[in-house]
Structure 1
């Protein structure tokens, strides 16, 4: 091959039009721009609680279970196994976490919650990897089984316990929380001044460093830990190869079954940890149905994040923030978000015109005008819309991000050892 051809091969873009990775300064600039936009909307609408310390703290607590479920889905799907059963594994985590927590303390509850979710993941692996059952069918079956099993177990465990019933557990002792002395009060004071950008940044910092549960710290550390294991180790490379091309991985000596089993079991364990967080940190008790579809929303966060830990974390944060809006300020905060969405759609119109996608630009402009009109003619939104806001956000995000997604190539496919020979 000539020197010119070698040079051309080195500089040629990858086939399929690979995306350029964003550098850290660019990411920080985008985050700062987004915060400035939120601050502008806060000043215009007067919804000062949108970025308050309490709002951010509540959003973080609501985002953690969703993020853990999404992280679990990422482990499974990177190995080629679709895990619709995340919801059921979270249910197992809530029950086992509460059962052990009220008897032996909260950290024992965390451990048993992880074990409960891991057992659900192991069952999913046996059904899908060993027996080759359709992944969706197996996941739905686990969701149904988990609800029935925990309801049955509650009848003869929690029902006879002091302070418990057939639908909820006795109260569980709380896990220790961290508040940075001085910094928390300073951020609270800055946030209450309602200055542009500065107060919003203070609200975010204060929300993160005020009343932070130790289990929240563990959950946040699991995000970079997952990235390092899956993208910076030989183990992670082998596991991801099972989700891209298990036949090629097998030809290189990778035990595909083993890596799929590990990935799906870890997936269940992470979802179980999310369930234990709900029972021990968020509410302090187990309640029937308390997962509230968070396993499915975690799966949506993972898809929004393009099967990457960082993007998944952003998706979980978005859903947690939207969910927290209805708990603090409710209709007023969601009403302010109408203005934010309208402005974002104006930016989308400009971008679509730049890319000459005129039909999409017209649709975005029409929706933006509708939102501006809705915001201008009303002081608050109906309570039904407030309750539906997290789920509406889920649908909108998935719809808007669908065009840029790339799932693992062998995700959801049935694999049989030796099929490539």
Structure 2
């Protein structure tokens, strides 16, 4: 009992750095080995990793927004709608006032959605899911209506899209990216793959990507290393106890949901300014929901959330680089991961889950050995299938904030 309590306390202080680093390192070595075995060089190329990072960031920003809200005890299924508002704000404000104003406008538009959700759930006690779904529907309708009103008569614009928007700017460190590119071209085991990572971070790296990464790291320290973060998290774990020591639970919840909306809006700005070159109706394509899934996969912690976002971004990016060949090589990766899961489950004493993992690993290995390509339809489905599988395997270790989703009323006894 004591050891279990210690583990929970360690988990509540944030992600365990050594475990996270070991997981990332092991996965990267596996990818490098599969690249050498299969000859699918694109699975770790700098181009694939760059596209992966671009696909990951808007999901991660939405997931980070969800983490802020849910750590304060408010389920924010309205992330999709807040992202939609962010894309609209980025499109309109950037066109008229420039990139910096556009990013701030996207955050402000997202915070409007957050304020509505906080008003409904925190102040009026509306069911969190109902409020979030309503915000998603309202945001989609508002975005369609205002896009037609704002962009139709602009040069290059239309009823469903804005004109082309200015780029936020990119960082290039050629003294690092060029040697890394030369090493990558040699296709050495692990060395060339690490060179691809260096090139990804030193060539055409968007300023908004750096901002997003800084916000993820900053959120970890703010939520787990400051008094403010401790108080905010206490509102999601035991709001009545927090109230008893003088914490204004309403204020912390409202603040967290506003920040949540702003982060989701920033994710929308990323879509409009980096992933594409302008606003388009429907360009979020469910990324707010995927961000919510990534947050759950990450056990309501920033590092795990970012890993989940990266997994979805990778499976989304890979088909664009080498089509069915690279996705076919992923079958071997999945088989290796399932074997690793089986070993871990066996060591933990979960024999049944270990046997299931081995059987599934054998299925994926057989699929890889008996085929040369993966059907195009499966390639398109890969990101969503991956998300479902990851959540299914991660479900056993998840622990949401104790008061997450519960309607709180001041003076109640819980």
Shorter chain as denominator, the TM-score bin is over 0.9
Q: Determine the structure 2 residue equivalent to 1:15.
A: 5
Matched, 1:265 2:255: no
Q: Determine the structure 2 residue equivalent to 1:301.
A: 294
- For residues 38-64 of structure 1, the C-alpha deviation after alignment (integer angstroms, 9 at most, x for no partner) is 111001111101111111111111110
Helix, strand or coil for the counterpart of 2:403?
coil
2:193 to 177, 183, 200: 200
| 8 Å CA contact 1:79, 1:259 repeated in 2 | yes
| 8 Å CA contact 1:82, 1:412 repeated in 2 | yes
Higher helix share: 2
Matched, 1:57 2:50: yes
- Alignment of structure 1 residues 44-83 onto 2, 5 Å: 44-83=37-76
Tell me how far apart the structure 2 counterparts of residues 176 and 168 of structure 1 sit (CA, whole Å).
22
Unaligned runs of 5+ in 2: none
- For residues 308-329 of structure 1, the C-alpha deviation after alignment (integer angstroms, 9 at most, x for no partner) is 1111111111111111112111
Residue 309 and residue 259 in structure 1: after superposition, are their counterparts in 2 closer, same or farther (change >3 A)? same
Residue 27 and residue 125 in structure 1: after superposition, are their counterparts in 2 closer, same or farther (change >3 A)? closer
**Greater Cα radius of gyration, structure 1 or 2:** 1
Tell me how far apart the structure 1 counterparts of residues 177 and 343 of structure 2 sit (CA, whole Å).
40
Matched, 1:93 2:86: yes
Matched, 1:171 2:164: yes
| 8 Å CA contact 2:82, 2:139 repeated in 1 | yes
Residue 406 and residue 232 in structure 1: after superposition, are their counterparts in 2 closer, same or farther (change >3 A)? same
Tell me how far apart the structure 2 counterparts of residues 316 and 161 of structure 1 sit (CA, whole Å).
35
Q: CA RMSD in A?
A: 1.7
Unaligned runs of 5+ in 1: 1-10
- Give the CA deviation at 1:16: 8.0
TM-score normalized with structure 2 length: 0.96
- Give the CA deviation at 1:162: 0.8
Q: Determine the structure 1 residue equivalent to 2:119.
A: 126
Give the count of matched residue pairs: 411
| 8 Å CA contact 1:52, 1:207 repeated in 2 | no
Helix, strand or coil for the counterpart of 2:8?
coil
Tell me how far apart the structure 2 counterparts of residues 346 and 233 of structure 1 sit (CA, whole Å).
40
Tell me how far apart the structure 1 counterparts of residues 104 and 238 of structure 2 sit (CA, whole Å).
34
Helix, strand or coil for the counterpart of 2:408?
coil
Helix, strand or coil for the counterpart of 1:18?
helix
| 8 Å CA contact 1:192, 1:199 repeated in 2 | yes
Helix, strand or coil for the counterpart of 1:160?
coil
| 8 Å CA contact 1:117, 1:273 repeated in 2 | yes
- Give the CA deviation at 1:12: 4.5
TM-score normalized with structure 1 length: 0.94
Q: Determine the structure 2 residue equivalent to 1:8.
A: none
Instruction: Say which is worse superposed, 270-279 or 33-42, in terms of deviation.
Output: 33-42
- Give the CA deviation at 1:30: 3.9
- For residues 209-237 of structure 1, the C-alpha deviation after alignment (integer angstroms, 9 at most, x for no partner) is 11011111111100111111111111111
| 8 Å CA contact 2:151, 2:161 repeated in 1 | yes
Matched, 1:284 2:274: no
Instruction: Say which is worse superposed, 33-42 or 139-148, in terms of deviation.
Output: 33-42
Q: Determine the structure 2 residue equivalent to 1:396.
A: 389
Q: Determine the structure 2 residue equivalent to 1:314.
A: 307
Tell me how far apart the structure 2 counterparts of residues 278 and 316 of structure 1 sit (CA, whole Å).
15
Helix, strand or coil for the counterpart of 1:182?
helix
| 8 Å CA contact 2:174, 2:203 repeated in 1 | no
- For residues 276-333 of structure 1, the C-alpha deviation after alignment (integer angstroms, 9 at most, x for no partner) is 1100111011111110111011111111111111111111111111111121112111
- Give the CA deviation at 1:362: 2.6
1:32 to 22, 25, 30: 25
Q: Determine the structure 1 residue equivalent to 2:412.
A: 419
Matched, 1:245 2:238: yes
| 8 Å CA contact 1:174, 1:284 repeated in 2 | yes
- For residues 324-377 of structure 1, the C-alpha deviation after alignment (integer angstroms, 9 at most, x for no partner) is 112111211111110010111122223333334332223222211211111111
